Chain A
Amino acid sequence: MTEEREMSRRALLVKLGVLVNIVVAAALAVPVIGYLLSPLKGKNHYLKWIAIGSIDDFPEGQTRLGTFRNPFRRPWDGMTDDTACWVRHIRGTEFQVFAINCAHLGCPVRWFPQSQLFMCPCHGGVYYSDGARAAGPPPRGLFQYPWRIQEGKLMIQAGELPTLSTKA
């Protein structure tokens, strides 16, 4: 009788030990999980309006490579912050700014002014001058950055690597 009581007391203490450890582990794990998930931010958290140059840098009727430093960066990013985009100056104050990344799998597309086409070197995706899909495996046209003109500067809203589920 006494022995059984002793045993059940020990068993209770072991259970208590396990319970205390679960509580401590959970209390520590929650902030750690928060730390791991820290890159997840609200919908437009990473996006900012930035200038990619004066509108005179982009002659009317042409499509040219624009570059900008990504607005969200860390000091040790090195040159990976430098981002390219294709700027199409249609006429007057009408622009289109395309992400460099192919809508298929993100390779950098190249502009050919002679044939007025964007071609992708990876899997042969082709787009027309207005970014619409022309041929190949891409499921949609080129990603486009929202743009506006402010004090003679062409501004775009950028900050994320564009994919089918993240914004340009």
Chain B
Amino acid sequence: MGMLAKIVTWLDERLNFVEPLREVARHPVPRRSASWWYVFGSAALVLFLLQVVTGILLALVYVPTGASAWNSLQVLDHSIRLGWFLRAMHGWGANFMVAVVLIHMVQVFLFGAYKYPRQLTWVAGVFLLLLTLGLAFTGQVLRFDQDAYWGLGIGASITGRVPFIGSWLVHLLLGGPIIGGATLSRFFDLHVFVLPALLAGFVGLHLLLVLKLGINEWPMPGRLVRRETYLREYEELLQRDGVPFVPYAIWKDMLFAAGIVLAVAFCAAVLGPFGPGGVPNPTIIQTAPRPDFFFLWLFALVALLPPQMETPVLLIGPVVAIAALLLLPFLAGEGEKSWRRPVAVLSIMLIAVCLGALTHLAETAPWSPVMNAWSAAPVPASDLRGRSPIELQGALVFQDKQCRNCHSLGGVGGHRGPALDSVATRLTEDQMIRQVLQGGGNMPAYGKNLTPAEVTALVSFLDTLHPAGQAPAQDAARKIVKETESPGEQSGHP
């Protein structure tokens, strides 16, 4: 007997662990469930372990105080050998973990694996998703750069919309009246102690349930789940076509997990760590805060919702969404398991399209004014050539009054308002004057901020913005007035 075997035997006499472990390893799974579709759960677990390890290593250097957090990240990035790589692994590991958890969830949903008797496994999974997202958000805060600072401000502003107890909740969230050292401390506490401990607990419950109830069988269209017969049928399936988890299924889990970790390392090595961005100094206001990738859809949502719907959606939406996820297995615990469930498939497609579209929009954020367009983007030369002095003066007004921050010319500038390259074909002179003076439709009224001369110049310039060969819009009545007016009598009466 080798030395190792002796040690194992000695330990097993006292701990009695070999037999239970063997039972776990040899637990039967349906042959068709030993599939490449069933590898995402274990990959998520491996990513969580990777996060734990890299997190512990980062905590050796990271200083969770308002005054030093940002500097300690600089030290990690630049002064400690491979510190940047560990930060990058942790950051990319987080992104991969959110993605894999979501994919796992979609697969489980489409395979109907949450149905009887595995409802509780799904419920534990919902909590695992929420904890994963919680870790992603709190982790972004620990970066404690400008984006983290203003991200906290956005969090506080959303919290402040809670009726009656809003101010208490804001102070609890921030750990005081402002975003400061106490805020970072409590997010550190959550990110490093509370959430990972809860996550580990739920992972334990989740795995225990998978072992107790057995892995979901491969769903067959038309094979319905019935409470009275399911357990017996599953048992028969295992008898007829069951294989031990080790080695039949585990090799796929292992290969996939290794591939995922390698992908994380590849992204980390090639693309590097996330930030930190600018220092968390609230007096530096030349900033346009953006959330991390997985919260971009939310950024888009709050920009696009009608204002009066924002508070209800922000406060009630999450409650409804979480309740729906938790109740799903109890409301639809039986019946068809396969992807032959049109409502289920359409729901996934709808959610995916919505989240994808919102994320895509948030990447360009057309609703954000381009704060420096008025001084940084010149008016295209083609819009200036051959123009009269008053029209040129109008172009100057256009730039100087920051119109460009929201309106693009030649594709450059803000997209908050419509592009104005052909505005003259859409609005008559009078309509333009009204729009400039009174605003409306997301545009401020410039009535008090422009002199009549500036308005005249600006509108003369805007009236030249139409494609060659396409006449500007004209008020028919105005045309008649102009024709009947003799030159030199424009402002007088006959």
Contact = CB atoms under 8 A, between A and B. Distances in A.
B162 interface: yes
A134 interface: yes
Contacts of A83: 178, 282-283
A165 B164 CA distance: 8
A134 B449 CA distance: 12
A80 to B, nearest CB: 5
A134 B10 CA distance: 78
A136 B449 CA distance: 18
Given A39-B182, A46-B177, A106-B156, A124 B406 contact: yes
Contacts of A51: none
Contacts of A29: none
Interface string A11-40: 000000000000000000000000001011
B280 A119 contact: no
A164 B160 contact: yes
Contacts of A115: 400-403, 446, 449
A80 B181 contact: yes
Given A107-B153, A108-B287, A110-B371, A80 B180 contact: yes
Given A80-B66, A134-B439, A128 B282 contact: no
A107 to B, nearest CB: 6
Contact of A80 (B149, B371, B442): B149
B181 A107 contact: no
A161 B178 contact: yes
Given A112-B402, A124-B303, A106 B157 contact: yes
Interface in A130-168: 134-139, 159-161, 163-166
B171 A79 contact: no
A166 B449 contact: no
Given A77-B67, A165-B162, A124 B442 contact: yes
Given A80-B280, A107-B154, A110-B371, A116 B449 contact: yes
A106 B154 contact: yes
A134 B282 contact: no
B281 A72 contact: no
B307 A160 contact: no
A74 B289 CA distance: 25
A41 B182 CA distance: 15
Range of interface residues on B (Cβ < 8 Å): 35 or more
Contacts of A63: none
B132 interface: no
B371 to A, nearest CB: 5
A161 B307 contact: no
Contacts of A114: 374, 400-402
A82 B64 CA distance: 19
Contacts of B439: 134-135
A126 to B, nearest CB: 5
Interface in B135-185: 149-150, 153-154, 156-162, 166-168, 170-172, 174-183
Contacts of B180: 70, 73-74, 77-78, 80-81
Contacts of A75: 67
Given A107-B150, A110-B371, A115-B449, A40 B288 contact: no
Given A77-B180, A78-B280, A39 B156 contact: no
A108 B152 CA distance: 12
A83 B285 CA distance: 10
Interface in B290-312: 299, 302-303, 305, 307, 310-311
A53 interface: no
A76 B182 CA distance: 9
B16 interface: no
Contacts of B170: 161, 163, 165-166
A4 B443 CA distance: 84
A22 to B, nearest CB: 23
Contacts of B279: 79
B369 interface: yes
B240 interface: no
A65 interface: yes
Contact of A136 (B65, B158, B402, B442): B442
A96 to B, nearest CB: 16
A134 B286 CA distance: 21
Interface of A: 37, 39-41, 46, 65, 67, 70, 72-84, 100-101, 104-110, 112, 114-117, 119-124, 126, 128-129, 134-139, 159-161, 163-166
13 contacts: A72-B176, A73-B178, A77-B66, A78-B66, A80-B282, A81-B178, A82-B281, A106-B153, A107-B289, A112-B374, A137-B307, A160-B178, A165-B161
